[in-house]
Every structure is written in C-alpha cells, then in structure tokens.
Structure 1
Amino acid sequence: MILLADGGSTKCDWILLDDVGEIVFKTRTKGLNPAVFEKSLLERRIRENVEISSYRDKIDIVHFYGAGCGTAKPAAMLKKVFEDFFVTSEIVVKEDMVAAVYAATTEPGIVCILGTGSNSCYFDGDDIHMSVDSLGYILMDEASGNHFGKRLIRDYYYKRMPQDIASEFEKSFDLSSDTIKENLYKKENPNTYLASFAEFIFTSERNGYFYKIITEGIQEFIENRVLCFPESQNVPIHFIGSIAHFSEDIIRAAVWPYHLTVGNIVRRPIDGIIDYYRKEVIKKKN
C-alpha cells in the first residue's frame, strides 16, 4: 500500500491507496512543515493520528510532498521522523511544488502555490525549475495566507481598515497587542497564526477593501514569482491552493495586463496526486 501526503504549515492531507489504487482511508493532520516546526512536534502530530498509526506496519511506501521540504536539512529531518515511525516502509520526501505540478499539468507551464505560504516553479514537461529559493513567510510568500494576515493586522493598527470592517474584525479575533506579540514572537507556528487572520477575507462578503488587498497581493506575486520565468509569456500559469481557488476572478483580472494565460486552478492538490499515482499503479500492472 502507498501512503500519500500533501503537507503545508496549517494542515496535511493523507490518502492511503491499496495495490489497485483504491482509497483505504483519507485523513488529515495539522501541518508538518519541517522548516518551521520542531522535530518533537512533527513526531507528535503524526503519532496522534489514529488512522495512520493503525496502518503504519502495513504501508509499503510513504510519499510525502510538503512545504519546507525544498532544502536538504529540513527534508532530511522530516524523513528521519518518518523512518522512525514507519519502520517497515520506504520513505520519499519531496517539496510541495512536485505535488502541485502533479495536480496541475503534464505539459509545460508555470505552477504556483497560494496557501499558507506561496511559491512557484517552471515545469518543462519533465523537470521542475525554480527561479529562486523561497525564504519563507518573513521575507517572501507574496499573496499567501500569512501575507494577507500581516496586511490585515497592520491595516487595523494603522487605522487604514474601514471602520465597519474593523468592527467585524474585532469580533472575530483577539487583537490585543500583547496577544499578537506573544503569538508572533514567543509561540510556535507564527506563520500559521498569521494565516489564520486571512480567513476573515475569504469567509466574509467581498467588498472593495478586500478586493484591493487581494489584488495587490496577487500583483506582487505575479511580478516577483511569475514574470521571473522567461517562459511565462508562452505557457499557461496554473494556480494551486485555497487562496487561488477563492481568488480566481482576481487572478484572471490581474494577469491580463501582462498578457499571461491562466491554466488550471486547483483547490486541493491531493486529488491530482491520487490520479497521478493511480495511473502509475495501472501502468506498472500492465
């Protein structure tokens, strides 16, 4: 059996497929980003899941695609966590861009992730090419959940947020400066904490203020993480993640001045991963 996972900083979706590609179970854990979480926390989040724990001795291969796995040190740390837990399984750990490509296309294109964090790559039909290494939520991650969360908090404190929206924002979150600073500077997972504020934009009724925030974030992402690829003028631009899903109209409007073509917009990459592995299973059996 093959255990597949698409992991971000906020959540991780898991699918167990049997030998003919049928789903044994679907489950979810909290995020497993090895670039921002301690080893002990990663171990605990896996161990606490009942479905995964009950099947761990029956799993032949674990394929994990996750945020924070694009550089050697955190990927190696997460692989060791899995090797210690899935003691009889082959372990493969790859960055989340690989899963995004599987979910989006089999043809050349630019593939973008807009989730808790953000990233992009050029897929030439065979291999993935990154423009720059991602430096994470403090320096990069344009148009991500933590990007929009930071924007909301700053606008609230600088009193740039319209008063009626600010009143609703106050009802939804504890906005005291002590609470915010404690979560950002003393507690674990500050990127996930910031991203939690972004839900306010996407679960509230769309208005001019939200439209402006999303548009500016998407434009910044396009300028920094799409136009950096010379191929962007000639291939479709695919988007993966919940923020992309809820911002489809803004994405289509934002790319128009740059003469870019929007390709597929996929909310949950795990569905594309299942299709990819089912094809692999069928191909090997035939």
Structure 2
Amino acid sequence: MILIADGGSTKADWIAINKNKQEEFRVRTLGLNPEVISAKELNDRIIHMFQLIKIKDDVTEIYFYGAGCGTPVAIKILEDVLQEIFTNAQVHIAEDMLAAVYAASGKKPAIVCILGTGSNSCYFDGENLHMKAVSLGYTIMDEASGNYFGKKLLKEYYYSKMPKRIAEKFEAEFNLDADYIKKNLYREANPNMYLATFAQFMFEFKEDKYIKRIIKKGFQEFFKYRILPFEKGPETPLYFIGSIAFYFRDLLEKVAHKNKLVITDVIQRPIDNLLEYHKKNIN
C-alpha cells in the first residue's frame, strides 16, 4: 500500500493506493504542520484516523507534501512521527510547494502559487524549484493568505474602520472579546489556523466593495513580493492552489491582468491531480 498526502495547516488529505495503483480509500485529518504543531499532537491526529491505522503495517511508502516542511528540523519531526506509526514504510517528505507544482504543471515550467491558510510561490523550470525568499511564516509573511486576511479584518474592526453593516455581522459571528482573541493568538496552539477562520467571513461578502478592496490590496501585495520578482511574462503559465485563490478567482484574475499576467488555472484542492501525477511516476 502507498499513501499520498497533501498536508496543510488546517487539514491534510490522504489517499491510499494499492500495488496496482488503484485508489483504496481517501480520508482527511486535521492539519499536520510540524512548524506549529507538537510531535505528540501530530501523532494523535494520525492515530485517531481509523482508516490509516487499520493499514499501517501494510504501507510500504508514504509521499507526504506539507506546509511547514521546508526546513530539515521540521522534516525530521514529521518523519519521526510517521516512521513510528508506519514502521514498514519508506517515508518521503517534501514541502507543499512541490505538491502544488506536481498538481498544477506536472513536469512543465510554470509559476505556481499557494493561497490557502498560508501562502507561498515558486518558479518551476521543469526540474527544480526556484524561490525568491524563504518563507518566515504567518507572523511576518504569508501575504494574501487566510491568516493574512484574518489579521486585516481584526485590525479593521478594532480600529473602527469596518463599515457598520459588516461590523455588526462580524460581531454576531465571532467572539471578539479582546482577552479571548489574545488567548487564541498567544496562548493556544495553531494561531495561524485561528486567524484564517476570520478570513472565511469574507466569502459571504465577496461582492461588497469594502471586502473587495481588502482582497485586491492583499493580492497585489502577493504579486509584488511573490510573483513579479521572478520576472516572467504572460507566456509563462501561472497557477494558483488553495481556497482563497479559488473563491476569489475573479479578483485574482483582475490583479493578474493589472500586472500584465494571465492565470492559467486555479485549483482548490490539489490531491486529485497529485494522485494522477504519482500514478504516472511511481514504478
């Protein structure tokens, strides 16, 4: 049995395929980002998924692509967790950026971007990933991501810049007590996921001028720091992966056009494309 996983900070999608490369099942666990989740919690999130534990001794290979898997220390944490559970498996771990490339362009050159709970980008030349900057995560970077927009909305609300009609609905939907917010930001696990929950609020108001302005400004910031430095023109395919890109595709395309670029495709969840890639490339 082979396991293929696409792991974000919020959720991780798993697919099991047999020796004939046929899908046996698929499941979803909570996010498995080793940069923000302890080894114990990573372990718990996997072992409490019955379908995975039922086949743990039959798994011979794991291909895990995950958020937070871009440094040796983080990779080692997750590798140890997976190896302890799936004792007969050879474990391959790579950052989610590589999964995005395989799901979007396969083996063809392209700029590939992630806009989900977090954000990132790369230029893939057909063989290697090229990144202009190492991501320092949600506190400093992650432009136009779910947690980026969550921070923006909280600031707008607390600085009384949010229109009254939207602020009232924001108050009705979330606990906006300052102590509660600070507890989740500074004392609880996964503050990036907490912030991203506020961004989901924008989906309800995607046609509102105020929300559109926030989103377009965030997208432009992403292009400025994460796409334009590659210095590629509209002839280079441009792909986006993730829920933020998927639900606000129309605004994303307008910002791309403003920057003289054309979006080739937007993929909400890469796991199906990733499965097809591995079916073709696993011996």
The reply to whether TM is greater than 0.5 is yes
CA distance in 2, matches of 1:74, 1:131: 21
Matched, 1:12 2:12: yes
SS in 2 for 1:56: coil
Query: Contact between 1:33 and 1:68, CA under 8 Å: does it hold in 2?
Result: yes
Match of 2:133 in 1: 132
Q: Provide TM-score, normalisation by structure 1.
A: 0.96
CA distance in 2, matches of 1:217, 1:204: 16
Match of 1:104 in 2: 104
What amino acid is aligned across from residue 53 of structure 2 in structure 1?
S
Match of 1:202 in 2: 203
Query: Contact between 2:15 and 2:26, CA under 8 Å: does it hold in 1?
Result: yes
CA RMSD of superposed structures (Å)? 1.1
CA distance in 1, matches of 2:52, 2:93: 17
Match of 2:213 in 1: 212
Q: Using a 3 Å threshold, how does the CA distance of structure 1 residues 115 and 205 change in structure 2: closer, same or farther?
A: closer
Query: Contact between 2:121 and 2:131, CA under 8 Å: does it hold in 1?
Result: yes
CA distance in 2, matches of 1:9, 1:234: 32
Query: Contact between 2:8 and 2:32, CA under 8 Å: does it hold in 1?
Result: yes
CA distance in 1, matches of 2:233, 2:39: 38
What amino acid is aligned across from residue 31 of structure 1 in structure 2?
G
Matched, 1:170 2:144: no
Relative to total residues, which structure has the larger helix share, 1 or 2? 1
SS in 2 for 1:136: coil
Match of 1:272 in 2: 273
What amino acid is aligned across from residue 36 of structure 1 in structure 2?
V
Identity fraction in percent = 46
CA distance in 2, matches of 1:53, 1:139: 37
Query: Contact between 2:116 and 2:244, CA under 8 Å: does it hold in 1?
Result: yes
Q: Provide TM-score, normalisation by structure 2.
A: 0.97
Match of 2:119 in 1: 118
Query: Contact between 2:233 and 2:260, CA under 8 Å: does it hold in 1?
Result: no
CA distance in 1, matches of 2:221, 2:165: 27
Q: What 5-or-longer segments of structure 2 have no aligned partner?
A: none
CA deviation profile, 1:263-283 (whole Å, cap 9, x unmatched): 1211101111011012124xx
SS in 2 for 1:261: coil
Match of 1:44 in 2: 44
Query: Contact between 1:110 and 1:232, CA under 8 Å: does it hold in 2?
Result: no
Query: Contact between 1:236 and 1:260, CA under 8 Å: does it hold in 2?
Result: no
**Aligned length in residues:** 282
Query: Contact between 1:226 and 1:232, CA under 8 Å: does it hold in 2?
Result: no
SS in 2 for 1:197: helix
Residue 2 of structure 1 and its aligned partner are, at CA, apart by 1.0
Residue 131 of structure 1 and its aligned partner are, at CA, apart by 1.1
CA distance in 1, matches of 2:41, 2:278: 29
Query: Contact between 2:147 and 2:196, CA under 8 Å: does it hold in 1?
Result: yes
CA distance in 2, matches of 1:25, 1:220: 39
SS in 1 for 2:266: strand
Query: Contact between 1:4 and 1:16, CA under 8 Å: does it hold in 2?
Result: yes
Residue 104 of structure 1 and its aligned partner are, at CA, apart by 0.6
Which residues in structure 2 correspond to 1:22-41 (within 5 Å)?
22-41=22-41
Structure 1, 237-246 or 196-205: larger mean CA deviation: 196-205
Residue 251 of structure 1 and its aligned partner are, at CA, apart by 0.9
- Structure 1 residue runs of 4+, over 3 Å off? none
CA distance in 2, matches of 1:195, 1:26: 25
CA distance in 1, matches of 2:84, 2:247: 38
What amino acid is aligned across from residue 131 of structure 1 in structure 2?
K
CA distance in 1, matches of 2:11, 2:221: 25
What amino acid is aligned across from residue 197 of structure 2 in structure 1?
S
